[in-house]
Chain A
Amino acid sequence: MLLLQEAAVHATSAAAGQAGESFAAFAPWLILALPLLGFVLNGLLSITAARRALPALPPVGDPHWDAHHEPSEQEHHAHGDDAHPAAHADDHGAHGHDAHGHGPKPATHTLPSFIAPGVLIAAFAVAVVNFLRMLAAHPETAWVHEYWSWMPVNDPTGALRVGAAIQLDQLSMLMTLVITGVGSLIHVFSVGYMKEDPGYPRYMAYLNLFVFFMLTLVLGASYPLMFVGWEGVGLCSYLLIGFWFKERANADAGKKAFIVNRIGDFGFLIAMFLLFANLGTLNFAEVMERAPAQMAFGGAVVTAVCLFFFLGAAGKSAQIPLYVWLPDAMAGPTPVSALIHAATMVTAGVYLVARSATLFTMAPVASLVVALVGTATAIFAASIGLKQWDIKKILAYSTVSQLGFMFAAVGMGAYVAGVFHLMTHAFFKACLFLGSGAVIHAMHEALHHTHSDMDAQDVRNMGGLRRYLPVTFWTMGIATLAIAGVPPFAGFFSKDEITGAAWDGAHGQLPLAAGLAKVGIDGTLWFGLIWGALSIAAFMTAFYMGRMMIYTFFGQNRTGEEERKHLHEGSWTLTLPLVVLALASTFGGFLNVEREVPIVRWFDFGQGEALHRWLHPVLAGADQVAEANGIAGAAVEPSAVPIAVAILLGLGGLALAWTMLSRRALRTAAEEPAYANGVERVLYHKYYVDELYDRVVVRTVGWLSRLQAGFDRYVVDGLVDFGGKMSEWLGVALGRFQTGQVNTYAFAILIGVTLVLYAFVHT
């Protein structure tokens, strides 16, 4: 990541110097092909492994088989809190200690350890080569290459041309680096985390497939191709959430994610239809070129397109009201949570909005909606995170909240800030999730030894782990400082840019503010509100992260005497990714240091705002729209207020958590109640949104479908059966004429002759 940062800084000088040089991509298809190859190879290994296991496959629950192959995975039970104790008891009774490394493993379980991370690292290398070339050339236009024609439709009313084309520009380059870079680290982590699982090759195959689809999503040169990736990552998400599908709750969580995402996909599709109907194309380059000319600024069409795209983004990126699937998605293995449900897939919505910046700039109302929904999600999810006990649930709500920040940013037109936060969030949230994975790994292993049925994911049962897991503690600590917004860690800079944008907006200095004024809305009040809400959310973030760290790593250890002896750090495959991500979380922020931050002057990081310059060609279209409509932002008056507030809130949240919690004797889950008063109770139950959805949506749909099933069974089937019966009766009736008597037959012929003769003579 240092390399990335270093290079990005160079970009500024490169951009200034040799902007005209042409950019020649180096086999960008390899970036896609390598993970796909990994998927194919691991998939074959998985099938082989499954075939070998087949004859030995006993009825479900056979203890002997379980004893050797059942996963040592803890999050076997990582879902609904209620089911835990019973599941644990079963688990321990069934396989005891011996799930860890018995004898030599078959090739199907060793090869994926090399293939899966190998292809990712190779893809990352190819991406870096392309990045360096792009850095040297800094092309002003996107590099697009069509490999074959995918969907050619000739129609008199308008031809649809969708090619299997890759678009490589600064935005997709950045996303590709994040996906392959962070993805490589998480693949390495997965090797340490998942290698004892009987489904290991299958897991790695899914993970490779996910990366392939995620890269398709960001590298595709058109909305339909993006949609292919969009659906593909949805599929992989479903497969990985329900990876341990033998437990019903996991399978249900997968289904929930899939179904909720369908609602969003509906929006994505409608937006594409609208775009094609109005512009006659779906390729990014053509859409961005034609949109300003063919659609009215602030008009109904472009607003509808943007709102429907946002519906799609809200589904994929877990925004209100479609966020409910993400906390449940923690049922999947923890590296999956880190890669898919924190660092990459869930940010696809942000990428979509940034990619469509030109459109969103043209639709101020839609942009404001995006910003408001993002802000609401940020504060809403952060408040739920205050009172969760499951370490992964805390991080899940934190992710939802941080995604809200990103949407607030892109909604306000601060696309660079949104993408910047996307990137830093990928670093520190991946670090936090992998750290939590290491904690759970250690906890579960310790609990294993004593057959304890304590919940390995409940922070109340941990405590004092910094002595046993020092690397995890320090790396997670850094990530926590980053997410809490403590300078100079990465999250501070990116989050500060977002709140800073809101502050500017409140002072009428954002293009969006001018755009809103143009359609008759006074945006400043809204932006003030957004700034306030985001600040509170940032404060809550610092608090719940501090609370999580204190419960996990500080105070007395609460795992128990016997268990404590078995608490230890995992292998290097677990710790190395943590260290790298912690470094990235520390320095990643300097990539886009802005304005008057003192550090810039002290350390002289060049001109600063490297990311702004880097992404400039991508956002040029949006800027042109803003200029053409006279809403380009005024020169921003630097202000120390938002920076100061941000620093104070970050430190304040952490300090509050420290003073409230650390001196108190923390207690285990058995002793400590889940909530103490009404407010905590509502927060603990996540505002009862799941219950509300169940009552209002799920039951209504269930009732309707039962009604339809009845209609189908009695009316539709009835009609069909009646048709069949009628045919039979008619057949029997007509068959009566077949008497076997020749005179009857001759008579029938005679009647026929009469009729035919009459018909001829009559006409």
Chain B
Amino acid sequence: MSFFAALGRPEVLDLARQTHYFWALLPEIVLTLGAMLVLIVDVIHKGDRSEPSRGSIPVLTLAVLAATALANTALFGLRDVSANGMVAVDGFRTFTNFVYLVAAALCIAISMGYLERRGIMKGEFHALVLFATLGMMLMGGSRDLIMTFIGLEVMSVPIYVLVGFDRMDPRSSEASLKYFLLGAFSSGFFLYGIALVFGAVGSTNLTYIAETLGTGTDHGHERLLMAGMALTLVGLGFKVAAIPFHMWTPDAYDGAPTPVTALMSTGVKAAAFAAFVRIFAVAFADAGAQWVPVVWWLAAVTMVGANLVALTQGSVKRMLAYSSIAHAGYLLVALLSGGDTGKAAFLFYILAYTVMTAGAFGIVIANSRDGEERVTLEDYAGLGLEKPWLGAAFSIFLLSLAGFPLTAGFLGKLYILRAAVEGGQAQLAVILVLASLVSYFYYLRVIVVMYMRPARSEGWHAGAGLPLAARTAVLAACVVVVAMFFAGAVPMRWAEQSALSLWRQPAPVAASPAPASLFR
């Protein structure tokens, strides 16, 4: 990191000094500037004419994401010696930031061609994706509940807009409205939960909360804290789409333009989970006796319910929505497993899941046409025979989602199961195995239909395909899914180091004995 050191980056950050926030927030700053640049460039291009944006806009967007990723590397090896920063400076944040950036990049890549076909090729789309990504980074990297909430809203509002981006399509608008209403509803719960936690503990700083709960001192507000934790859990449960807070998911995923669906089921979910880990597995770690049984049930019900309902879906896109709910259940198991192995398994899985899910939605896009989505099971009949590359890629993504060996999904599930068994959650591990057994049926059914049923009509699949850039992205995702199986140790080692940094207590700093939170 000598490059950033040469630019004047300190070796150790102390967020008690305001200027150090520049370095701590460098990726976010780059991303914000980039998003604005995209917006402005688009406006300059178009002037007052109403026409589709130029093809250079997505390229510029990808460049912004790449620059952000580069800026993100500035966080490598950095740590924060203050006790009260608003953002976390640790490997966990670096890792998850990369996941959001990958999700956003794949979303942009597979949207190429798709937006033109639906007539919604507008620069706002790309700017909104970037702003949503900014929200993800803020939410997942926050070390303060207020910051988490701000990040959540920064992420959610662009997503509400993106879901309803195709204003001409009533389904898109309907999905957007539903998501917005329920999202606002759940944000209320989340905010109320934050307020109650603050009332009980006296701070919104996660480190402070962790230390207070860790010392075991009776703060006299046990019930208040419990209620606060419960409502916080509801808010996060909504965002990660855990049953019974999942009901918006199928409708919103189904109605939204498919690239947005991909972003929602990958980046948004990852950010919500990162916040989940920071709040529950770190800040509330010592109140585990209270929240672990509740989350246990959430995980179990989510895994079983989502997989069962997914069985009956006739639409592949909707099936993938339920599949994403089911995967939320698996990730909750990793979170419950506790310890470094659990966190590492979580990180590995969220990366694998992001790549394979975005790839699968890429194929869904490839199969869509002008004006029609073509998402029913019958629409996929014969795809594997007529478009062997698309069929093979989709098969790999589906097998990986099911957790079949030779794919990243298998290794991810294996790590989660190992963490669960080591962490004393053997029952959940059994439920996970049984639930994913059910999931094999609906994943494999798509493969069966692709290869063993004749196409609806002659030339049905003639127009299926992706433009070059999108094709490259899907191919890359495919390669990564397989490579993560064979070279799984590499990302796993990174995930383990990142998980370790999450647990590392900030170095004791004598200068700041009391947390200086805004609300203290």
Contact = CB atoms under 8 A, between A and B. Distances in A.
User: Which of B230, B231, B233, B248 has most A Cβ within 10 Å?
Assistant: B230
Interface in A708-763: 724, 727-728, 730-732, 734-735, 737-738, 740, 742, 744-746, 748-749, 751-753, 755-757, 759-761, 763
B250 A749 contact: no
A743 B348 CA distance: 37
B245 A761 contact: no
A746 B185 contact: yes
A751 B305 contact: no
Interface string B223-259: 1001101110110011000001101101100000000
Given A749-B182, A757-B227, A763-B290, A731 B311 contact: yes
Contacts of B248: 745
SS class, residues of chain B in contact with chain A:
helix
A728 B312 contact: yes
B179 to A, nearest CB: 10
B489 interface: no
A745 B226 contact: no
A756 B294 contact: yes
Of A746, A760, A761, the most chain B CB neighbours within 10 A belong to: A760
Contacts of A751: 244
Most buried by A among B231, B237, B247, B305: B247
A727 B230 contact: no
Contacts of A737: 247
A731 B238 CA distance: 21
A763 B289 contact: yes
A731 B309 contact: yes
B234 A728 contact: no
A751 B178 CA distance: 18
A422 B468 CA distance: 75
B186 interface: yes
B245 A752 contact: yes
B171 to A, nearest CB: 11
Interface string A428-439: 000000000000
A757 B290 CA distance: 11
A760 B226 contact: yes
A685 B55 CA distance: 90
A738 B289 CA distance: 33
Nearest to A739: B247
Contacts of B244: 748-749, 751-752, 755
Contacts of B182: 742, 745-746, 749
Contacts of B438: 727
A749 B181 contact: no
A111 to B, nearest CB: 41
Interface residues of B, number: 37
Nearest to A734: B309
B460 interface: no
A466 B291 CA distance: 99
Chain A contact residues: helix, strand, loop or mixed: helix
A137 to B, nearest CB: 53
A708 B185 CA distance: 58
Contacts of A740: 251
B441 A724 contact: yes
A752 B308 contact: no
A748 B305 contact: no
B245 A760 contact: no
Interface in B8-28: none
Contacts of B214: none
Given A752-B234, A756-B234, A761-B223, A738 B178 contact: no
B312 A732 contact: yes
A1 B486 CA distance: 58
Nearest to B225: A760
B237 A731 contact: no
Nearest to A756: B230
A738 B247 contact: yes
Residue from A734, A751, A756, A763 whose CB has the most chain B CB atoms within 10 Å = A756
Interface string B302-340: 000100111110000000000000000000000000000
B309 A735 contact: yes
Nearest to B233: A756
A761 B226 contact: yes
Given A728-B311, A731-B312, A738 B294 contact: no
B431 to A, nearest CB: 14
Interface in A179-232: none
Contacts of B229: 760
Contacts of A738: 247, 250-251, 309
A727 B178 contact: no
Contacts of B280: none
Contact of B247 (A727, A732, A744, A760): A744
A753 B189 contact: yes
Among A731, A732, A751, A763, the most chain B Cβ lie within 10 Å of the Cβ of A731
B293 interface: yes
Contacts of B234: 749, 752-753, 756
23 contacts: A727-B438, A728-B311, A731-B310, A731-B312, A734-B305, A734-B308, A734-B309, A737-B247, A738-B250, A742-B177, A745-B182, A748-B245, A748-B247, A749-B186, A749-B234, A749-B238, A753-B234, A756-B234, A756-B294, A757-B231, A759-B230, A761-B227, A763-B289
7 cross-chain pairs, A with B, having the tightest CB-CB distances, nearest first = A745-B247, A752-B244, A731-B308, A760-B230, A731-B312, A731-B311, A760-B226
Given A737-B247, A753-B231, A757-B227, 18 more contacts: A727-B438, A727-B441, A728-B312, A731-B308, A731-B310, A734-B305, A734-B308, A734-B309, A738-B250, A740-B251, A746-B182, A748-B244, A752-B244, A753-B189, A756-B237, A757-B230, A759-B293, A760-B230
